[in-house]
Amino acid sequence: MNLLVWTLAVPLVTAAFGSFGGPRAFKEATMVGGLTLTFGLSMATAGQFLHGAMPSAFADALRVDGLSALVLVLCGFVGVLSATYGAGYLRRNEARKLVTPRMRREFYGLIPAYVFAMLLVSVSNNLGILWIAVELTTLASVFLVTFHDRDTSLEAAWKFLVLGSLGLAFALLGTVLLFASGQGRLGEGMAALHWTRFMQVAPTLHPFILRLGVVFALIGYGTKAGLAPMHTWKPDAYREAPSPAVALMAVGMLNGALYCVLRIHLISKAALGPEFSSGLLLTLGLLSVLIATPFILVQWNLKRLLAYSSIEHVGIMAVGIGLGAEAGVFGALLHMTYHSFAKPVALFSAGTLSQLHSSSDFNRIGNGTFTRAPIASSLLVLAAIIITGSPPFGMFFSEMTILRAGFLGPHVTATAIFLAALVVLFCGFGFQIGRLVLGPPRDPSDRRKPLPERFDLAMGTVIAAAVLAIVSAFYLPAPLLALIRAATRVVWEGA
Amino acid sequence: MTRDILILCAAGMLVSAYLMVGQRALFTAIRLYGAQSLLLGIVAATMALSEGRHDLFVTAALTIMLKTILIPWFLMRVIDRIGIHREIEPFLNVPASLLVCLGLTVVGYRVSTGFPAAAGDVSHHLIGVALSMLLIGLFLMVTRKKAITQILALLTVENAVFLVAVGVTSGMPLIVELGISFDVILAVLLLGILVHRIVDRFESMDVSRLSNLKG
């Protein structure tokens, strides 16, 4: 059987095993083993691509080009991190007798299922399958949002599902309109919705219907990526979902949704010229960065803070693509890669702090966490330094690449606003994390004592992820860099 | 003849959307949704007959089975279990809502004039109706408080999308359509489960009460 099919089949089988009962060690081993194997397979698939083959399956409905390969590998990577940290996360809760059998079933079943759906998104060459896969990611993650079964998690899940379904209804309308704009030239059957088919007939697509379709599809998939103004589900879902699931949302889902946005953008670019969808992406991206700014400054919850940071970063990537320069596209994809390395460290260390204090609200955690949980606090500070784009880490360079492309191109005013927002965001995020970690404890007497920090599986995962994030800043493996270049070629030249 | 049936059904769908806006009893709103889906099924079947596209028969059968029977039955069961039967006063009262919807219909028809004339005047009507329904669905979603009404609004939007698919493209590839139907069913199921949990927890399904998470 095809390597690509195996890559998708393994997480699906893992999910099936996980949702049945069984001893804990078995379930942990299945999830971690299954998702590690998945990561290996996704790297092997990307390796096939780098050796000149174009892995595909089911009559080209699934197809791996440069962009797919990059998103696939990053998604597989975060899958392993989530599984390992997730096993440790659940162990900590088991030790405190907080885990019910329902939770175990949902956790071990839904996390691999979510990974499966995201991998399917990243290799879809068919706009219909792409839509179905994105809907599957939504459905797989709803019960991860309600995982802790609090009042607020129901609220978050409701917003997540309703807004997500609405976004997907828009994306579906966009897909239907794109199909309609072909006016029969796309042909019959499954192949008519292939992205490659769209690219072949792009110049003959009906411009008015196509424009309408592109707007709906970009807003629809933008909702899943968390682009403003359809981002409001994100802070709620991030706060309520357990951190391993949030990592999947913040990296895998974000990259996957951006992948959908890029596919639509490329069709639009080939048919209508670069201005139309680039302008839209630039606007949405800039709006996301600007909207995230005030909320980061006044934030009251650690995980919501990270949600707004993720809205900011998807905005940065959208701006990079929307600038309409090859360097901007390269910067955006580089940013996506560095973000995938750094974000899990931030989420896992923040998740550890929240778990020790049984809450992620700033006033429940209390300032000065460094004295109580030095390892997790240091890791959080490290992650904050990386994801705010400080030198010498990778995100500084990717942001510089985007800014340089912007100031050399036609959108100088937009780039200037973008730069100003980035500076404010840097200060705001630094202030929030600095206050939390180093600030003086307000009143040491009236707070409940947090749990002591222990070196366990989850902590080991965070440290490993942090090492990888630091190493990646100075040394990107040659194959990974080749993938980023190949993806840039896809986004810039459309092939 | 075909033309008349299509236009009649499309008009019926639009009317059902208006009635849904004017409706406070949840059972009636669900029945209206069922009727709307039946009309969508008839549109698909008529297209299948007149254009000889047999794929569309599957779409029609699926639409009628799932959206006319299964989903309304499921939603009614949810309502019966939780024992809440009426929508409370919406954020905007009914006459004002209907006026807004009238405006939305004009917008929908205006946008539909941009579609190519070659598609014929029937599909022009279908697109006009579909876009109006889409906007009305969005409007319902933001002005209503009950969780069930929000689900119905979402489903109305989804019906509108299918009307575009059937009316303009004569149907998407069959396997894609099957996948979409499966996902929609699953989404409704999950929404139903969430409504259950929300009612259990808050003893109400006013989504306006779900407002603890801000900032």
Round to the nearest angstrom and report the end-to-end CA distance of chain A.
27
Peptide bond into A235 cis (omega under 30): no
Please give the pLDDT value at position A495.
Answer: 67
Cβ-defined contact of B173 to A154 (cutoff 8 Å): no
Q: Do A152 and B212 touch (CB under 8 A)?
A: yes
**Helix or strand (DSSP H, E) at A56:** strand A56-57
Residue B116: band (very low, low, confident or very high) from pLDDT cuts 50, 70, 90: confident
**Would B200 be classed as within a structural domain?**
yes
Backbone phi and psi for residue A361, each to the nearest 5 degrees, phi listed first: -75, 140
Distances (CA, A) of A256 to A100, A120, A269: 31, 9, 20
Which of B134, B150, B194 is the closest to A154 by Cβ? Answer: B194
Which of B157, B172, B183 is nearest residue A176 as measured by Cβ atoms? Answer: B172
**Are A96 and A218 in contact, with CB atoms under 8 Å apart?**
no
Which ranges in A52-126 belong to alpha helices (H)? 66-95, 101-123
* Average model confidence (pLDDT) across chain A: 92
| Angstrom distance (rounded) from CA A288 to CA A307 | 12
> How much is the average pLDDT of A199-226?
93
Give the C-alpha separation, A122 to A252, whole Å: 9
Dist CA A441 CA B213 (whole Å): 26
Question: What is residue A285's predicted lDDT score, i.e. its pLDDT?
Answer: 96
pLDDT of A5 strictly over 90: yes
- Quickly tell me which residue has 């110049």 as its tokens: A203
Q: What angle do CA B67, B72, B78 make, to 5 degrees?
A: 140
- Chain B residues with CB within 8 Å of chain A CB: 111, 114-116, 118-119, 134, 138, 141, 147, 150, 154, 157-158, 160-161, 164-165, 168-169, 172-173, 175-176, 179-180, 183, 186-187, 190-191, 194, 197-198, 201-202, 207, 210-213, 215
pLDDT over threshold 90, residue B33: yes
Chain B within 8 Å of A169 (Cβ-Cβ)? Answer: yes
- What pLDDT is attached to residue B200? 83
Domain boundaries along the sequence of chain A:
3-493
Name the pLDDT band for B185 (thresholds 50, 70, 90). Answer: confident
* Contact by Cβ (8 Å): A483, A259: no
Question: d(Cα A245, Cα A110) in Å, to the nearest integer?
Answer: 9
Helix, strand, coil shares of chain A, percent, nearest 5, are: 80, 0, 20
Q: Residue B1: which pLDDT band, with cuts at 50, 70 and 90? A: confident
pLDDT at B119: 55
Q: State percent of chain A over pLDDT 90.
A: 76
Mean pLDDT of A448-462: 85
Domain assignment present for B212? no
pLDDT digits (tens, 9 = 90+) for A43-102: 999 999 999 888 899 889 999 999 999 999 999 999 999 999 999 999 998 888 888 888
Other residues' Cβ atoms within 10 Å of the Cβ of residue A102: 11
Q: What is the pLDDT of residues A154-211, one digit of tens each?
A: 889 998 999 999 999 999 999 999 998 987 788 878 888 999 999 999 999 999 999 9
Percentages helix, strand, coil for chain B, rounded to the nearest 5?
80, 0, 15
**Helix (H) or strand (E) segment spanning residue A63:** strand A62-63
Residue A161 to residue B115, Cβ atoms within 8 A: no
Strands A56-57 and A62-63: antiparallel
Give yes or no for a contact between A248 and A186, defined as CB atoms under 8 angstroms apart.
no
The band of B205, judged by pLDDT with boundaries at 50, 70 and 90, is confident
Residue with tokens 């939770």: A103
3-state SS class at A57: strand
B157 closest CB neighbour out of A166, A189, A304: A166
For residues A38 and A261, what is the distance between their CA atoms, to the nearest angstrom? 25
Arithmetic mean of pLDDT, A373-390 = 93
pLDDT for res B117: 63
B-chain CB neighbours of A152 within 8 Å are 212-213
- Nearest by Cα to B153 from A166, A421, A366, A107: A166
**How much is the pLDDT for A443?**
65
pLDDT tens per residue, range A411-449: 999 999 999 999 999 999 999 999 999 888 766 665 567
Q: How confident is the model at residue A150 (pLDDT cuts 50, 70, 90)?
A: confident
Q: What is the pLDDT of residues A288-341, one digit of tens each?
A: 999 999 999 999 999 999 999 999 999 999 999 999 899 999 999 999 999 999
Residue A241's pLDDT band (boundaries 50, 70, 90)?
very high
Is the CA virtual torsion A49, A51, A54, A55 positive or negative?
Answer: negative
Where do the H-state alpha helices sit in A273-325?
A: 275-297, 302-322
Alpha-carbon gap, residue A235 to A308, rounded angstroms: 7
**Looking at residue A441, what is its pLDDT?**
73
Q: What percentage of chain A carries pLDDT values higher than 70?
A: 98
Contact across the interface for B173 and A190, Cβ inside 8 Å: yes
pLDDT at A13: 94
With residue A13 as reference, give the H or E element that holds it.
helix A3-18
A295: which chain B residues are within 8 Å (Cβ-Cβ)? 215
Q: Is the pLDDT of residue A1 over 70?
A: no
C-beta of residue B16 within 8 angstroms of C-beta of residue B156: no
The pLDDT assigned to A444 comes to 62
According to the model, what pLDDT value does residue A408 have? 94
Q: What spatial distance separates the first Cα and last Cα of chain B, rounded to whole Å? A: 56
Lowest mean pLDDT: which of A185-189, A262-266, A300-304, B111-115?
A: A185-189
| The pLDDT value given to residue A141 | 92
Question: Phi/psi at A57 (nearest 5 deg)?
Answer: -150, 165
Alpha-carbon radius of gyration of chain A = 21
Helix axes A66-95, A101-123, angle to 10 degrees: 170
CA distance B144 to B82: 18
A/B interface, count of CB pairs below 8 Å: 123
What crossing angle do the helices spanning B94-112 and B120-143 adopt, rounded to 10°? 140
User: Minimal Cα–Cα distance from A405 to chain B, Å?
Assistant: 33
Instruction: Tell me A448's DSSP state.
Output: P
Number of domains chain B is built from = 1
Cα of A328 to nearest chain B Cα, Å: 31
Decide: helix, strand or coil at residue A68: helix
Shortest distance between the Cα of A208 and any Cα of chain B, in A, equals 7
Q: Residue B180: list chain A partners with CB under 8 A.
A: 128, 131-132, 135, 172
- Contact B190/A136, CB-based, under 8 Å? no
Which of A60, A179, A188 to substitute to test the interface with B, most B CBs within 10 Å?
A179
Q: Does A438 touch chain B (CB under 8 A)?
A: no
**What b-and-e string marks burial along A285-301, b requiring 16 or more CB atoms within 10 Å of the CB?**
bbbbbbbbbebbeebeb
CA distance A54 to A48: 7
Residue B83 within any structural domain of the chain: yes
In a domain, B162, yes or no: yes
- State the CB neighbour count (10 A cutoff) for residue A150: 13
Residue A53: CB atoms within 10 A of its CB come to: 12
Q: Which residue has the tokens 């909320």?
A: A295
Rounded Cα distance between A26 and A6, Å, is 22
Cβ–Cβ below 8 Å for B183 and A132: yes
Q: What angle do CA A136, A134, A125 make, to 5 degrees?
A: 120
pLDDT at B168: 77
Check residue A33 and give its pLDDT. Answer: 95
| Chain-chain contact of A162 with B191 (C-beta, under 8 angstroms) | yes
Is the per-residue pLDDT at A275 higher than 80?
yes
Q: Which domain, by its residues, includes B149?
A: 2-207
Minimal CA separation from A210 to chain B, in Å: 10
pLDDT at B170 over 70: no
Report the residue of B40, B54, B209, B213 to disrupt the A interface, i.e. the one with the largest count of A CBs within 10 Å.
B213
- Residue A281's pLDDT band (boundaries 50, 70, 90)? very high
Provide φ and ψ at A125, rounded to 5°.
-105, 0
Give bridge partners of residue B206 from the DSSP assignment: B146
A206 chain-B contacts, CB cut-off 8 A: 116
A304 neighbourhood in chain B, CB within 8 Å: 215
- b/e for A385-414, b at 16 or more Cβ within 10 A? bbbbbeeebbbbbbbebbbebbeeeebeeb
Residue from A117, A1, A3 nearest A51 by CA: A3
Residue B214 lies in a domain: no
